[in-house]
């Protein structure tokens, strides 16, 4: 927003899910695309929302490819297992499977899921190698924006660490940002989206001159402090924010439309135009980038995901 790297020409964004948190999507109801929309909708919509906000732009076109190549029966055998099974709790190979999840060993998971199976019949620890899983675990997407910027995005759900790396390439330089997140299992007794301050990094590379390491502002609590900000915005008094982190339903629609368009690309192999998916959606209020003149009013409520 200060113009340190000028106008953004392209963005390189890699999001990594490890084999604890990432595998968890393949154990739960999220593994059925008809219910969850796949990771492009359930997970990546948050990432697209961030990029839209960082760029102060809206998407116009999407191209992408996706595949399920890791969480498969074939991979189970490659890792030394005999086959897939129904769930971890009754699995005859649980002592040999490094993806085994013990619901009874975590008080939160036990209380929320295991103790309630008798009522809803839902298994929270379904086998990650089940053949009926139909969501992707490896995805690559290219998004074109109305500002002229291009996003190159990847999401992989079978990595050795959790977090993301992003770089903004501009007319005056490059800005790199990375976060390593603490691993967790949803519903368990651990902080969701927690980070260590020393593992959050930002580096500015001017087009001419020496690079600079910038000290990022960090928060505490869930989602790196984001949960507290969201609660304060929803239930506290109005608090003007020069960064424009508040978002309305239009911003939410644009972020989820990228994921929905990517899903179409996965099926057809053809690019998708956002204008062909929805009509009447107006541009959300966003903070102005250096090339955009004049102030942009910020909506008073609702926090960005």
**Cβ 167 vs Cβ 174: under 8 Å:** yes
Kindly state whether residue 227 falls inside one of the protein's structural domains.
yes
- Select from 193, 159, 178 the least CA-distant residue to 13: 178
State whether 251 and 161 are in the same domain: yes
Kindly state whether residue 298 falls inside one of the protein's structural domains.
no
Kindly state whether residue 200 falls inside one of the protein's structural domains.
yes
* pLDDT-derived band at 76, boundaries 50, 70, 90: very high
**Cβ 126 vs Cβ 31: under 8 Å:** yes
pLDDT for 244 equals 81
Asked if pLDDT for residue 14 goes beyond 80, the answer is: yes
State whether 66 and 190 are in the same domain: yes
* pLDDT-derived band at 106, boundaries 50, 70, 90: very high
State whether 93 and 167 are in the same domain: no
pLDDT for 242 equals 76
State whether 55 and 91 are in the same domain: no
Q: What are phi and psi of 178, to 5 degrees?
A: -145, 150
Number of domains in the chain: 2
Domain that holds residue 224: 8-70+134-276
pLDDT for 297 equals 41
Give the side-chain half-sphere CA count within 13 A for 164: 18
Kindly state whether residue 287 falls inside one of the protein's structural domains.
no
pLDDT for 227 equals 85
State whether 153 and 252 are in the same domain: yes
Kindly state whether residue 285 falls inside one of the protein's structural domains.
no
Q: What is the C-alpha radius of gyration for the chain, rounded to an integer number of angstroms? A: 21
Task: Give the model confidence (pLDDT) of 184-218 as tens digits.
Answer: 576 655 555 556 657 899 999 999 999 999 998 87
State whether 38 and 164 are in the same domain: yes
State whether 95 and 139 are in the same domain: no
Pairwise CA distance, residues 198 & 281, whole Å: 40
State whether 237 and 101 are in the same domain: no
State whether 147 and 94 are in the same domain: no
Pairwise CA distance, residues 24 & 77, whole Å: 19
Kindly state whether residue 305 falls inside one of the protein's structural domains.
no
What are the structure tokens assigned to 219, written together?
């928060």
- Select from 77, 73, 75, 100 the least CA-distant residue to 89: 100
Pairwise CA distance, residues 176 & 203, whole Å: 5
State whether 213 and 93 are in the same domain: no
pLDDT for 218 equals 76
Average pLDDT over residues 283-299: 63
Mean residue pLDDT across the chain: 90
State whether 180 and 113 are in the same domain: no
- Flag whether the pTM goes above 0.85: yes
Task: Give the model confidence (pLDDT) of 41-70 as tens digits.
Answer: 999 999 999 999 999 999 999 999 999 999
Sequence-distant (6+) residues with CB within 8 A of 267 are none
Kindly state whether residue 2 falls inside one of the protein's structural domains.
no
State whether 99 and 198 are in the same domain: no
Task: Show the 3-state SS of 35-58.
Answer: HHCCHHHHCHHHHHHHHHHHHCCC
CATH assignment at residue 262: 3.30.360.10
Kindly state whether residue 299 falls inside one of the protein's structural domains.
no
Among candidate residues 91, 120, 149, the one where a domain is terminated: 120
Average pLDDT over residues 234-241: 83
């Amino acid at each position: 927003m200060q113009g340190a790297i000028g106008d953004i020409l392209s963005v390189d964004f890699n999001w990594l899910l490890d084999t604890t948190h990432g595998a968890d999507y393949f154990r739960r109801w999220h593994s059925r695309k008809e219910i969850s929309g796949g990771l492009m909708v359930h997970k990546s919509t948050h990432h697209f929302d961030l990029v839209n906000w960082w760029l102060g732009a809206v998407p116009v076109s999407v191209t992408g490819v996706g595949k399920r190549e890791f969480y498969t029966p074939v991979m189970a055998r490659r890792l030394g297992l005999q086959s897939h099974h129904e769930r971890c709790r009754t699995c005859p190979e649980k002592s040999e499977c490094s993806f085994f999840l013990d619901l009874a060993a975590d008080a939160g998971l036990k209380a929320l899921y295991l103790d309630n199976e008798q009522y809803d019949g839902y298994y929270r620890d379904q086998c990650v190698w089940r053949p009926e899983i139909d969501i992707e675990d490896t995805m690559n997407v290219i998004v074109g924006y109305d500002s002229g910027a291009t996003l190159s995005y990847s999401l992989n759900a079978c990595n050795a660490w959790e977090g993301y790396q992003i770089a903004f390439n501009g007319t005056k330089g490059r800005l790199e940002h990375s976060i390593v997140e603490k691993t967790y299992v949803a519903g368990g007794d651990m902080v969701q989206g927690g980070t260590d301050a020393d593992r959050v990094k930002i580096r500015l590379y001017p087009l001419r001159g020496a690079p600079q390491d910038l000290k990022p502002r960090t928060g505490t609590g869930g989602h790196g402090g984001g949960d507290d900000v969201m609660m304060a915005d929803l239930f506290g008094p109005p608090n003007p924010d020069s960064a424009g982190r508040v978002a309305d339903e239009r911003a939410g629609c644009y972020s989820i439309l990228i994921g929905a368009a990517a899903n179409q690309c996965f099926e057809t192999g053809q690019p998708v135009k956002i204008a062909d998916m929805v009509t009447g959606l107006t541009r959300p209020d966003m903070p102005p980038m250096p090339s955009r003149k004049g102030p942009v009013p910020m909506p008073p409520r609702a926090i960005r995901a």
